[in-house]
A and B are shown apart, each in its own frame.
Chain A
């Protein structure tokens, strides 16, 4: 009888061992070793199939791409003039700081590039990257793509790490609305990102930048997250809620950069 159930007993013992090890650091090491082995496969697929699928999608969306291109050219021209003005303002700011004897803020930022290996769960909006504690990563580090915040390191293992994207339900990041200067918490979810807990006295503008506020210390301040789209809070609520859209296409993330204050 035991021979007949041998396979089932072996599987049951493996599951039981895994369950016992789950809350311990050994499971973290085991998961680390899995992703070390899966890394070449994951990177191989990203460089092959990962390029083919968006290419096919782009061909099907050619009309949208042409319109978007035209909008981006106009926006780019507008931004260039803004950059020129900002450069002047920054120059004046530096001169004034020197005149007034302000100490310069010398916090430097370390940037670690990382490639996406895969995704450990289809339900969490998270990815696994090929850098870990051995590269200096710690839980809570900010992860950016194209200069925009896309997530935070949620589980740093020795050789790889889990990054929770800002669109995930569990993501919670302190942010500030750049024009109206209202602070709030950026949450992800199925309906998209939104900034919650903005005080009622703040006059939120549509299209203003949302950047990290630096509160909490781990995520550097000033990293762009997205732009406000519409206010979604109802009358009578004690805080305002505003929807936020990110310029990053989260389905086409490739290389990420982990930033940390030093």
Chain B
């Protein structure tokens, strides 16, 4: 797919995060589409797409959000680079259970960062948020597999 088209789609994902996802919240939990997309793309070895989403989506969230500019972009790019390192050195063989666990973990870390920046102690809701994000990551992974017709994705079921 054309790089410009991908950037436009990823920017739209950022806008969807701010306008559509609040309507799909459960008990105040709104999973981050950009975070889920970055993690899943990075895990299935679409590193360039993961970085592009982290930058485009992150900049949109920084542009609209109340935190200091650059927070989301830096965090998402950092996550993509960490996953790349994990894939190369520690976990070369990925499966859907590991996608679930990794998304859960990164959602917790992201949530902790935000809580600390808003001067709040993280609460037990973090785990519900992590679970919700992890479930959506599996859904997204299966959709991605369909899109790529089960080819060229470096993950087993």
Contact = CB atoms under 8 A, between A and B. Distances in A.
B15 A11 contact: no
Interface stretch (B38-46, B64-72, B90-98, B136-144): B64-72
Given A15-B74, A42-B19, A53-B23, A124 B64 contact: no
A53 B68 CA distance: 32
B62 A46 contact: no
Interface string B47-89: 0000000010001101111111110011001000000000000
B66 A21 contact: no
A76 to B, nearest CB: 29
Nearest to A17: B69
Contacts of A16: 70
Interface in B91-121: 111, 114-115, 118, 120
A251 B23 CA distance: 8
Residue from A16, A119, A169 whose CB has the most chain B CB atoms within 10 Å: A119
Contacts of A120: 18, 64-66
Interface residues of B, number: 36
Given A11-B73, A123-B115, A38 B19 contact: yes
A14 to B, nearest CB: 7
B147 to A, nearest CB: 22
B23 A49 contact: yes
B23 A50 contact: yes
Given A19-B69, A45-B19, A49-B23, A34 B63 contact: yes
Q: Is the interface of B mostly helix, strand, loop or mixed?
A: helix
Given A35-B64, A38-B64, A118 B19 contact: yes
A18 interface: yes
A41 B11 CA distance: 13
Contact of A18 (B28, B29, B70): B70
B63 A30 contact: yes
A190 B23 CA distance: 19
A185 B4 CA distance: 52
Contacts of A162: 66
B20 interface: yes
Contact of B69 (A27, A123, A126): A27
A169 B120 contact: yes
B24 A53 contact: yes
A153 to B, nearest CB: 14
Residue from B30, B70, B77, B118 whose CB has the most chain A CB atoms within 10 Å: B70
A121 interface: yes
A234 B90 CA distance: 51
6 cross-chain pairs, A with B, having the tightest CB-CB distances, nearest first: A18-B69, A122-B30, A15-B70, A119-B22, A42-B19, A118-B19
21 contacts: A11-B77, A14-B59, A15-B73, A18-B62, A18-B63, A18-B69, A22-B68, A31-B64, A34-B63, A34-B64, A45-B23, A117-B19, A118-B18, A119-B18, A119-B22, A120-B65, A121-B114, A122-B22, A122-B25, A124-B118, A126-B66
